Amino acid sequence: EGRTLIADIIDTICECAILDKENPDIEVQVLKALLTSITGPNSLVHDQALLTAIRTAFNIFVVSSSQQSQVTARASLTQIVTRIVANFESEVAAAKRKEEVEEKSAASARGGEGVEKRQDEESKGGEMGGEEEESDKTIVQKMVEGIIRNTLIKSGEALEEMKKEEVAAVEVDESTATVKLSVHGNDVFKVFKALVKFSLKKVEDDQAGAQIQTRSRILSLELLLSMLEKSGPAFRETEQLIDLIKRHLCPSIVQNASVSIPAISGVSLRMLGILVLHFKASLKTEISVFFQSVLHRVLDSSSGSLSQQKLQVLNTMKMICRDAQTIVDIYLNYDCE
């Protein structure tokens, strides 16, 4: 009913972890199977099957009492999320290279046609120059006819070019209205969105639930950090991902950077630094909020309980200040305005 074989295989693997929760050996084997299925060459695990696999590995890390299972789950998830980002970057880079090759081939073909046309014109000109017995009236008449013919040809070419441009414009408008991500781009978007939701979950009141939620939040933030660190031009220029960062990740960073748990605030501040360094062109307003609501607020606080957070903020500022261009951009975009 529309399901793929690989989706059924992933479901079967994940059910093994559900049926026997207290067996570390089974948990480790499930994690290995999922990791191999997703990170192997020409993997077919996408969309819902990918999310099911990540959710299972995530639950093993959060719920399992085995240290080995937790370490394996964390390492497997890190490899999975970095691989799907790398696949997306490679996919977009390959598409751009293909477009460049096609454009060069088209340009070479157009250049060859231009040379042939000039040679034909020169040969025609030579023939006209060699016909000395023709009268001046005949020569003028042929020149006028040639001019008219060339004008009609150029007009026809211009009209065809205008039609092509109109069709292209319609295609661009339609594609812009319904932008769809590629297979790997869709994987990155869905996984990133799911992890951001995990990072925003409220901590439960009871102690056991609070511990599970804390571990879940730490892991989700670490995986988001890994995806941002692995991101390249494709990730940073995809509108859907930028919008996701603006709407959900930035509020998550502001919320988690203010938490008194060092593991949570530390990872959040590192993500903040990466966004300032590599996403500043798209996050002008959000970066202003980062400085006012996170960095300045912590540094201006007189509370002694925030001493470790202040050190983390200073490390983040140090990371930002290493890039001279970012310092210039911050001055121009904020101080000068």
pLDDT, tens digit, for every residue of 53-78?
999 999 999 988 899 999 999 999 99
Is residue 113 scored above 80 in pLDDT?
no
What percent of the chain has pLDDT above 90? 52
The token duo for 14 is 């994940």
Residue bearing the bigger pLDDT, 259 or 31: 31
Is residue 174 scored above 60 in pLDDT?
no
Q: What angle do CA 289, 290, 296 make, to 5 degrees?
A: 100
d(CA 118, CA 152): 17
**Confidence band, pLDDT 50/70/90 cuts, at residue 212:** confident
Average pLDDT over residues 164-181: 43
d(CA 6, CA 16): 16
Residue bearing the bigger pLDDT, 332 or 131: 332
Nearest partner of 283 among 309, 311, 312, 245, judged by Cα: 245
Is residue 140 scored above 60 in pLDDT?
no
Is residue 153 scored above 50 in pLDDT?
yes
**Confidence band, pLDDT 50/70/90 cuts, at residue 28:** very high
SS3 content of the chain, % helix, strand, coil (to 5): 85, 0, 15
Residue bearing the bigger pLDDT, 39 or 138: 39
pLDDT, tens digit, for every residue of 229-283?
999 999 999 999 999 999 999 999 999 998 888 999 999 999 999 999 999 999 9
Nearest partner of 275 among 260, 261, 303, 294, judged by Cα: 294
What percent of the chain has pLDDT above 70? 75
Residue bearing the bigger pLDDT, 85 or 128: 85
**Confidence band, pLDDT 50/70/90 cuts, at residue 103:** confident
CB 279, CB 237: distance < 8 Å? no
Average pLDDT, the chain: 82
Quote the pLDDT of residue 204.
63
Average pLDDT over residues 275-298: 92
Is residue 177 scored above 50 in pLDDT?
no
d(CA 109, CA 288): 50
Least confident of 16-25, 57-66, 220-229: 16-25
Helix or strand (DSSP H, E) at 318: helix 307-321
Neighbours of 183 (CB within 10 A): 12
Is the pTM higher than 0.85? The answer reads no
Give me the residue label for tokens 């925003």: 200
Quote the pLDDT of residue 65.
87
The token duo for 233 is 């031009």
Q: Within 13 Å of residue 27, how many CA atoms lie on the same side as its CB?
A: 25
Amino acid in the structure at residue 66: S
Average pLDDT over residues 308-323: 92
Least confident of 120-134, 202-216, 229-243: 120-134
Amino acid in the structure at residue 326: T
Is residue 114 scored above 80 in pLDDT?
no
Quote the pLDDT of residue 320.
93
Quote the pLDDT of residue 143.
63
